[in-house]
Structure 1
């Protein structure tokens, strides 16, 4: 099957035409090619307000260097953070986030209280990345 173009579903093909894009699941019935995906409600999703699971399907399409994660973005692919003093820490098998520190177990300041493993991915950012 052919790889999905922007806006098309990629649940079956598990691949994307656009360089740097990854096929991410919204739920069991829909997946779409995006450059990044944050689990939960997606304000750019005009079709439905239902939250995104953001499980990566297949491999990211090569071609564009991965940009470091900012804010609450998933950093499990890029393994780097934009903000200085932060490091990419693993929460679970499907999500990692940039944090200043990480304690294994539930993070009460997080969106949910699911436990973090806190395995570091990549180096700590010592100075902000160039824009």
Structure 2
């Protein structure tokens, strides 16, 4: 998929926004929705997606939406840090398939990391159930 392909409204994150697919939500405001990744690279791997527009990646996001969305990403990162007490936090985002993007709706990853604990590869691994993710989501929610 090229960097400049049209937005596909049938992508999984668009379906989550419309309530057509479930997610384990940790935060929502007018700019963004944050939920746990069902294919986590590690405990507490959270995704933050914009709620408005049809941005496939960060380059597509209208300038007027950047500020509010990035504030939401920061709020989520702070809650992940407070709720899970990791040794570090990675905040990252991919633009286009060659860069590693696998879902073509803009999203930032907020990944807590701990010394001595391995982080898994992106977009692989075993799918986690809501029952497995709910206790971690509760700890993150408590960080707000």
TM-score, normalization by structure 2: 0.28
Report which of the two has the higher share of helix.
Answer: 2
Q: In terms of Rg, which structure is larger?
A: 1
**Bigger relative contact order, structure 1 or 2 (CA pairs below 8 A, ≥6 apart):** 2
